[in-house]
Amino acid sequence: MSLWDKVRGEFIDIIEWLDSSNDTMVYRFERYGNEIKYGAQLTVRQAQVAVFVNEGQCADVFQPGMYTLETKNVPILSTLQGWKYGFNSPFKAEVYFVNTRRFTDLKWGTKNPVMMRDPEFGPVRLRAFGTYAMRVKDPVAFIREIVGTDGHFTTGEITEQLRNMIVARLANILADLKVPVLDIATKQDELGTIITGKLAPEFDPMGIEITNMLVENVSLPPEVEQALDRRTSMGVVGDLNRYTQFQTAEAIKAAAQNPGPAGGGMGMGLGMMMAQNMGQGVAQSQAAAAGSVQPPPIPGAVSYFVALDGKQAGPYGLAELQAQVQAGRLTRDTLVWTQGMANWSAAGGVAALTAIFAAVPPPLPPTQ
């Protein structure tokens, strides 16, 4: 090797960065005195950009590729003016490698509930969370506005700020959607798109781009969700009378499987209860078929419904019917109905009501 080749070897350098992490956004190439030697080899790999900073200002940006650093392609370098300094070049520059790939599965979520007014439930508190992906689209702006002189900048240093910006816009976006809480699940894709559009003008000056925003869940407080579950359960049950009969039948079946005397007594009692419930259900079905509504019967007394002024009134016991007769409101032609009658009938034709008309004189004969 000649002396000239040996001297040239002192100036040749290799500048490259192999990223061994999954969260590094910017890496400053460390070298003694930040000196860039004439003829150094620069390697910029895919999803990287190399930014040269000279005297605090971004001087050159290199896209993916291999470069020999010479005066013709690096303005901040000159030719061999550095000979008077020995083998140290007087030109100093910092080299920042910027990772331009997508950083995915970054989390965001509300620390505190977001208040909003729902048309169905009124004021409600909502929590939301999801994921997003971002990338550096303007390396120079990103270094100037965010990184500064940080030699190893990771996603953890900026995700907290981005999360705060997302959550700060969420309340206004939910209010602008004017979608009921129960329907937000159908708008989650739209919600993510709106959030991305709202944040784009704020991220652009920082050199960052949100490439994908996912809203995974928007939830109510646990006590409200429990109330909704109970409401849903009532809707699933449907007819409470039939549900009660079903539950009673299941209880009888379980009691019958118990061979002990307690199980037999319990089964007998549940059977009587079921028979009573079924009898009431049949009576209500008959009343509905007759065009009337059957209220619960009064225990120990017979009561009648009365058609007064074209409307159903009652039920009345015999004493109340007697008072209606004396007041002249109830006559023999008034229609009445009680449990067991197939149809409405005139009161005078009901044998059980004959006694209440016994003390009432017949109508006066017409005057001549």
- pLDDT for 181: 82
Residue 3, pLDDT score: 47
The whole-number pLDDT of residue 332 equals 81
Cα 24 to the chain's mean position, in Å?
32
Chain centroid offset of residue 151 CA: 40
Spatial distance between the Cα atoms of 63 and 40, rounded to a whole number of angstroms: 16
pLDDT for 63 equals 93
Q: Which residues contact 254 (CB under 8 A, 6 or more apart)?
A: none
Distance in angstroms (rounded) separating the CA atoms of residues 157 and 154: 6
Q: Tens of pLDDT along 174-211?
A: 877 778 888 888 888 888 888 888 889 999 999 999 99
- The parts of the chain modelled with pLDDT lower than 70 are 1-12, 34, 71-91, 231, 234-243, 245-247, 256, 258-301, 359-368
Q: What is the pLDDT of residue 87?
A: 43
Q: What are the tens digits of pLDDT across the range 342-363?
A: 888 887 788 777 777 776 666 6
* pLDDT at residue 71 in the model: 60
pLDDT, residue 140, reads 93
pLDDT at 4: 46
Query: What residue has token string 């209606």?
Result: 324
SS3 call for 291: coil
Query: What is the model's pTM?
Result: 0.56
Its sign, for the CA torsion 21, 26, 32, 37, is positive
Position 85 scores a pLDDT of 42
Q: Is 110 in contact with 197 (CB distance < 8 Å)?
A: no
> Position of tokens 């190893």?
152
Nearest partner of 182 among 123, 118, 129, 231, judged by Cα = 118
The two structure tokens encoding residue 340: 């067991």
Residues facing 179 on adjacent strands? none
Could you give the angle at which helices 261-289 and 240-256 cross, rounded to 10 degrees?
160
Query: Residue 94: what pLDDT?
Result: 86
pLDDT at 1: 47
